[in-house]
Amino acid sequence: MKQHTKIINEVLISDNHHDFGCNDKRGRRMGTRIIIKSFDAVPQDADKDYGWLIEPGHYFRLSFQVTRDGERYGASNSGKLFKTQAEADGAAIAYLSGARKRAGANAYSN
């Protein structure tokens, strides 16, 4: 059952920048940053009615951020949760494949 939880034991699994090898119309290199962290979600203190609304347990969080010239660009995302690292890794590979295709389609050539 979902309940308010707090995050403990957060560990960075990977933090990788991927340069797509192409530029946008302003000449900036397009890329993305993909981050995977693991953490434990435990019940929030009884006197607090806030926190992540998920079932307590161990999770892997995949988040990504668009980059221009290797720097963060645009809005970030809230990320996606997975029960296993293999699921998070698979989703990261799928995201990266789609992001490369979108970047290529939006690449600017002189």
Nearest to 32 by CA among 104, 106, 105, 103: 103
Q: For residue 45, what are the domain limits?
A: 3-106
Give tens-digit pLDDT for 87-109.
999 999 999 999 999 988 888 86
Q: What is the pLDDT of residue 46?
A: 83
Other CB atoms within a 10 A radius of the CB of residue 76 amount to: 12
Q: What is the pLDDT of residue 47?
A: 85
Per the model's pLDDT, the better-predicted residue between 110 and 70 turns out to be 70
Give tens-digit pLDDT for 6-47.
999 999 999 999 999 999 999 999 999 999 999 999 999 888
**Spatial distance between the Cα atoms of 94 and 5, rounded to a whole number of angstroms:** 29
Average pLDDT over the chain reads 92
| pLDDT surpassing 90 at residue 77 | no
Domain count, the chain: 1
